[in-house]
Amino acid sequence: MTDTIAPKPGVDRISLYVGGESRIGGREDVLKLSSNENPLGFPETAGIALAQAAGKLNRYPSTDHVSLRAAIGEVHGLDPDRIICGAGSDEIIAFLCNAYGGEGTEVIHSQHGFAMHRISALAAGSEPVEVAERERVVDVDAILGAVTGKTRLVFIANPANPTGTMLGGNEVARLAAGLPRDVILVLDGAYVEYVEGHDGGAALIERHPNVFMTRTFSKIYGLGGLRIGWGYGAQDIIDNLNRVRGPFNLSDLQLAAAEAAVYDRDWVRTCRDLNTSERARLARELATLGVASDRSEANFVLARFRDEAEASSAELNLRTDGILVRKVAGYGLPNGLRITVGSEADNNRLIASLRKFRDENQ
């Protein structure tokens, strides 16, 4: 590392992001339950659209994403002019921090919240402020108490990652009402589609112009490999985010696949129904093994073992059986393992491995 060229303050405080593992040396039967991916893959409609778009690789893509924004607006009942698209919701989060953060500002995030909230704040030069949760649920009063004159953004993931817990609508509304009007409340809704009837905060945005929501095509739509996300909020916020957005941040391949996917409502219902039933079964089976978990509203369950040592032993046992889950000590949950809800067969294999672990470690 050179002594003469230093990054701006904050960048050196960012730990390099480590994604969920996907390989185990010497095994070809690896079951990856570490990255909250859709076990059903992606909708056929998106695959067809992707193949058709591949014939235009020599052309620059749309700069305004008008067709995708119109599709999102039609499906979700939103104003397309107030939608912005990005390379996953991660990029939208970065836009928010770059546009509204910076030196001398603070960005609030919750104790066990998504890592990119803190990372994006630091990258923009803001000071991230971590606020304690209450039993792994966002604490509205604690957040309101942490707001200062320097606060510009408040991030909460709802449902949350990696806990799977969800803040009720009344509490979210109370948080929005309690924030100063010059502080933006960002509702990170990567897992919203797994909660039937949940609008991700769209109605709240109409009452509070300082509320903004982000969404992704990586989870229920199964397009994580393409990196597509979007955000919705007041027109002035959208205009400012577009000022910091690169003109060609999404390719025609991404745009075409996402547009086809968002119209495939049958796919969303099928995936949500599978996830709901298998998530409940996984939580019940964990309970019979003496492993606690909070009620999850996402496509994963946070299994909480007695202590860090037991969690590490369970993770090693699963790995030995070719199953990868996510250790979450970096999120302040050293006794936890985040387990993606897989297919029925996937979950059968996982449960059998955990039963063996428990039988051998009574």
Strand pairing partners for 128?
Answer: 107
Asked if 297 and 194 touch (Cβ cutoff 8 Å), the reply is yes
Count CA atoms within 13 Å of residue 286 on its CB side: 28
The length of the chain, given as a count of residues: 362
Task: Give the distance from CA 314 to its chain's centroid.
Answer: 25
Q: What is the pLDDT along the chain (362 residues), one digit of tens a residue?
A: 556 788 888 888 888 777 777 778 878 899 999 999 999 999 999 999 999 999 999 999 999 999 999 999 999 999 999 999 999 999 999 999 999 999 999 999 999 999 999 999 999 999 999 999 999 999 999 999 999 999 999 999 999 999 999 999 999 999 999 999 999 999 999 999 999 999 999 999 999 999 999 999 999 999 999 999 999 999 999 999 999 999 999 999 999 999 999 999 999 999 999 999 999 999 999 999 999 999 999 999 999 999 999 999 999 999 999 999 999 999 999 999 999 999 999 999 999 999 999 988 87
Domains of the chain, first to last: 11-41+266-360 (3.90.1150.10), 44-264 (3.40.640.10)
Contacts of 92 (CB under 8 A, 6+ apart): 84, 86, 214, 229, 230, 231, 241
Separation in Å, CA 202 to CA 10, 77, 184, 235, 237: 32, 9, 14, 14, 15
Q: What tokens appear for 226 in the block?
A: 């393409």
* Rounded Cα distance, 191 and 5, in Å: 40
Asked if 265 and 294 touch (Cβ cutoff 8 Å), the reply is no
